[in-house]
């Protein structure tokens, strides 16, 4: 279990699997959904629900996850 600080200075717990997905955003601020494994996509959606990631469509219509925390 890990604790993440949001931009609003709130802290929120995430599990180890979500932490591993979040580590992928250390290299890049945005990652395409198609570049993630199916399980990682579910975990990324969970992080969107927790307001840690954002999900948007790019100009090509592909879904991209962006890091929202510090």
pLDDT for 16-25, tens place per residue?
Answer: 999 999 999 8
Q: Where are the domains of the chain?
A: 2-67
CA distances to 18, 54, 57 from 33, in Å: 15, 12, 10
At 46 the pLDDT is 94
CA 13 to chain centre: 14
Angle, CA of 52, 58 and 64, to the nearest 5°: 35
**Which among 38, 11, 36, 34 has a CA at the least distance from the CA of 23?**
36
Write down the CATH number for the domain with range 2-67. Answer: 1.10.10.10
What does the pLDDT look like over 24-59, one tens digit per residue? 988 888 899 999 999 999 999 999 999 889 999 988
| Cα 19 from Cα 25, distance rounded (Å) | 10
């Amino acid at each position: 279990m890990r604790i993440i600080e949001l931009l609003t200075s709130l802290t929120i717990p995430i599990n180890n699997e979500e932490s591993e997905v979040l580590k992928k955003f250390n290299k890049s601020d945005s990652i395409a959904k198609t570049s993630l494994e199916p399980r990682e996509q579910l975990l990324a959606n969970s992080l969107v629900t927790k307001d840690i990631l954002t999900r948007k469509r790019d100009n090509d219509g592909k879904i991209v996850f962006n890091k929202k925390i510090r």
